[in-house]
Each structure stands twice: as C-alpha cells, then as structure tokens.
Structure 1
C-alpha cells in the first residue's frame, strides 16, 4: 500500500489559496523550488496536470479545480489535528477566518466580534464580508454565517435564529398606487427581488391560509442595500429582512404593509467545513456566536 503524499497535497492547497508558487512558498516558509517540486511530484503521481503555467499566469486545470477542495480539506484536517493537540494545553489562540453577509456583518457581526476579541486577546479574526456565496472549504474559511438556502449538504450547519421579513414600500408609493392587503395583489405592483431569498415569496395569513407570489419588477439584487434607494424613491414594493429595512421602518421612510400576512422568516445559519476536528479558538467563536445571535437575530421574540 502506497501512502498518499500528504505534504504535496498540503502544498497544492497553499498554492491554490495564494494563487502562486512564490506566495505559497512565503506563506509556509519554504523555497519556491520546494513548492514546484511538490506540485510536479503530485502531478506525476496523479498522472494529470493541476495547473496551466505561463510566464505571467498560473491557473488551475479542470482536474486541478476538481481536486482543490479535497486538498483544502486535507490541509484543514491536518492543521486542526495539530492545533487541537496544542490547544488542549494552552488558551485558545491564533487566526480564525470568518465570512458573513455584508449588511449583517457591518450592523451586527462586527460589534459582536469586537466583544469576542476583547475576551480572547490571543485570537485574531480575518473577517470577510460578501453577499456572494463563498466556497468556505476551497477558500480556507473556518466559519461562515449564511442566510436563506443551504444547498451544500457537505457542510456542517447550525441554525442560530430567525430573522423576520417585512413587505415594505414608501408612503408616497402607497398614496399614489394603493396599499395591497393580500399577496395576490402584489402582482399588480412592481416588486424588487432580494435574490438571497430564492424562489417565490411565500406568505401565511389569517386562519392558516397560504399564498405564493413570484415577484416581477425592474430591479433584483443579492444586496438588500442596493434595493433600498428604489424603495425609498417610491418605485415599488420589496420584501426585505429586518436587519436591512429596520431603520427605514423606524424613521418612517418606508412602511410595512399586509400586517395580517407574514412572509416566511429567514434563518441565520453558522456553517463550518465537514470535519469534526476544530481548533479550540474556532470552538470558542462558535459557542460565542451561537449564544449571541440566538437572541440578537431572533427578531420575532
């Protein structure tokens, strides 16, 4: 039985993360020649090229793309095993890479992270805010906070709390075009779609009745903040989560409508790579976020 070349797999993962041989070499403290030899050795063993190499650019082959996530998992599991052994005898310390949605990150997560760091001076956090869906394994994240659908069943998911949704419009729009009282009436209005909430809008109403609407309108975006100006300008109706539209409701810039009908609530989930092995610092952050966001994001209680 021939054992896998774990060093070469780990170096391959580093090259993918840093997008260059020299960047990987600097990150792990070896020479560029050592990195090149490891990749060549792995390619020879696999019988396929992992990178397209030119004098100016390094890109993954199709085979390389398919294997990158496996390499990232190998590196993450080995790193976690070593760190778990170290952390058993020391206080949690080191770097945690965390990704989260932009608006929620700025409004809620960043203040929470400041509190966490104050309690754990040995930990550093690399916080990546993006409304795009991030491949947390391939990109080397320890923890992801996600909203809405969770199609990747290979990740480990923990539901933190519900986030209420509001059907909203500007007072001027409602004065000019009328105030819908039933979801079926939304089809008569331009509606702005928040694409982080996939599929049709679903509502539950009086007596347990249900209704489904497919929004049609001139604007759709994966960023709720990008929809707010059009709503404030009185151009249509939107369905947005409380953490985005809450300040506008409080100021009266926008109004909530169809009070007897509730949109399906979003849930905030904490995602981690599939491995059960996690450093103590990551476990500490997971415990903190689980407790903090169970209440902070549950706007329905």
Structure 2
C-alpha cells in the first residue's frame, strides 16, 4: 500500500473528522480509507485515530503525527507545483494564532472574503492571547503586534500593516473624573491595563512637549482585551485599545478618544511563521490577502500623531 497516499488519507480524515467525508473527497471508498489509516498505524505501531460509530478524533500520537505530516505534505505540493509550473489552489485547514482583539467585525469580514475566494480552506483560529509554539503545536502562522526585536529570531516575521491604538474612556467615567486636556492630567486616572503593559514607575509617553511619565491608577489587569473593552464601557476607567475594537463605540458615543494627538501609537502587525523555502498555498495567499487590506486601519489614519507609548506589547 502506498504510504504517501496513506498519509494524505490520514490527514484528510483527521481534518474532516470523518472517514466517509474524507473518502468521498479523495475518490475512495470508506473501507479503503480505513485500510490506509490502519496501514499507517501498523507501520508506526501506535493508534492514530479513535473511532466510534459517530465520531473520529486524534489520539495524542495522532495529533503529533498530523501536525508534522500536514506541513510536510503542504511543502511537497508546493515543490511539485514549482517544478511542474502548476498553480496549487489553497486548501485544507489553516491553523493560526492571533491577539484576542482580533475578534472583531473587520477581521471577520476579511476571513469571510478570503474564504469566499478560496472555499477549500477552513480556519482553525486560536484567540487565547498566548504565545503559541508554531512548530510543536502545528500552527501554520501567527499574527502578532509587537516590536520586531521581541519576536523569535528563528521565525520569519513579515510586517503586514500598522494598527492604531488609542486611549479611550466612557462619557460616564470622563464626566465623573474630568476630561484630561494635557498629558499631565492623566496622572491618577483609573487604568484598565493589559497584562503585557509594564506599569512599574508609570508609563513613559512622548507627547508634543517631550517625554513625560504618567502614573495611572490600575484598577484591572487582564490578558483579554475584550474584557477590558467591556469594563471601559461600564465606566471603570481608561484603556488602550486598537481602533478596530473601538471605532463603532466612538462613532456612536459610547467611548471617547482621550488626548489622541498625544498618546495615540501604532503597533506593527506581523505574520510570523516557521522559516520554509516553500510556503503552502493557503499560508502564502492568506498572508498576501491580509497585507493587501491595509485600509483596515483607514479609520485611524486621521488620528495618527508623533506621540507614542513605550513598554506596551500586544
């Protein structure tokens, strides 16, 4: 039995969680698909898939084998396409990690547009906010907004676009505490802080009058920007958030920009992926698709300024 075919059958069954659906897609009978998987299990001496009458799931060994095998097959397809001058259409599961704040309507719209263009690609999106191990956990890529020096040097990092972050607060909070008119007025204000922010000694803000240190009063700290956003809407304090999360709230009066000319800053969104000579079609086209949509931040363009906040990492 051809082992390469068995590998493709195993990956299809693992992704689709069905022998019947995978067999139909590959032009095989379900019985033959099962034989291919059993061939691999016999060859490896371990069970790769748990099977019941209604459910198929990967074992721990199966997950490890799948993560490595899927990347190998993607690379093989790309090499063959390069040699034969044949275009490989993107297909399969695109597993990627992104910041929590990527859970917004603009990103959802981009994913929908991409999937309409490439309907054979399925998304497996991790929004936990943690720094995943791309290779060990089988991720195709990660979207990370941070300084280049903070990225793993063993990975490839392609800059995609600038994301504008603003300091915002609710009208209720600002009416109660007063609206700052200069950077010094921020001292003592309640801050809903992202866990990656270095609050020791305050935040260094370089405004139009030069660098100043602002000592906020942290009232909440979280790695989840959605929770910080909701807390700001409930009048708990000020928060730094990307314009993607707040532009509708600002337009409809639920949040207000605070000193946008002084404390707005931009973070570079990178596509990060393992170094490979041949990127799979799904990864390459997805990165290009995101990069071509820099107008996602067009709503923030008018608010950009020379000011920046240091020691912030998303």
The alignment's TM-score, normalised by the length of structure 2, stands at 0.66
User: Residue 22 of structure 2 aligns with which residue?
Assistant: 24
Is 1:39 aligned to residue 37 of structure 2? yes
Worse-superposed segment, 258-267 or 14-23: 258-267
CA contact (8 A) 2:9 2:37 kept: yes
Is 1:177 aligned to residue 177 of structure 2? yes
Q: SS where residue 162 of structure 2 aligns?
A: strand
Matches within 5 A, 1:1-301: 5-85=3-83, 88=85, 95=91, 101-103=102-104, 104-106=106-108, 109=110, 124=119, 126=121, 128=123, 132=127, 145-147=143-145, 156-179=156-179, 181=183, 185-186=188-189, 189=190, 191-192=191-192, 198-200=196-198, 203-206=204-207, 207-208=210-211, 215-217=218-220, 220=222, 222=224, 224=226, 227-257=228-258, 262=263, 265-272=266-273, 274-278=275-279, 283=284, 286-287=287-288, 289-293=290-294, 296=297, 299=301, 300=304
User: Residue 120 of structure 1 aligns with which residue?
Assistant: none
CA contact (8 A) 1:97 1:140 kept: no
Cα distance in 2 between the residues matched to 1:126 and 1:43: 27
Cα distance in 2 between the residues matched to 1:129 and 1:214: 38
Deviation per residue, 1:24-43 (Å, 9 max, x gap): 22222212222222222222
Structure 2: runs of 5 or more not aligned = 306-314
Relative distance call for 1:129 and 1:78 in structure 2 (3 A) is: closer
CA contact (8 A) 1:9 1:74 kept: no
Deviation per residue, 1:266-298 (Å, 9 max, x gap): 322234565332467865664454354288468
CA contact (8 A) 2:164 2:242 kept: yes
Alpha-carbon shift at residue 156 of structure 1 (Å): 3.8
Cα distance in 2 between the residues matched to 1:25 and 1:261: 59
CA contact (8 A) 1:43 1:50 kept: yes
Aligned CA-pair RMSD: 4.4
CA contact (8 A) 1:21 1:35 kept: yes
Deviation per residue, 1:233-276 (Å, 9 max, x gap): 42332221012213433454322235576376432223456533
Relative distance call for 1:184 and 1:82 in structure 2 (3 A) is: farther
Cα distance in 1 between the residues matched to 2:112 and 2:58: 38
CA contact (8 A) 1:160 1:290 kept: yes
Q: SS where residue 167 of structure 1 aligns?
A: strand
Cα distance in 2 between the residues matched to 1:285 and 1:81: 19
Q: SS where residue 240 of structure 1 aligns?
A: strand
Cα distance in 1 between the residues matched to 2:78 and 2:123: 21
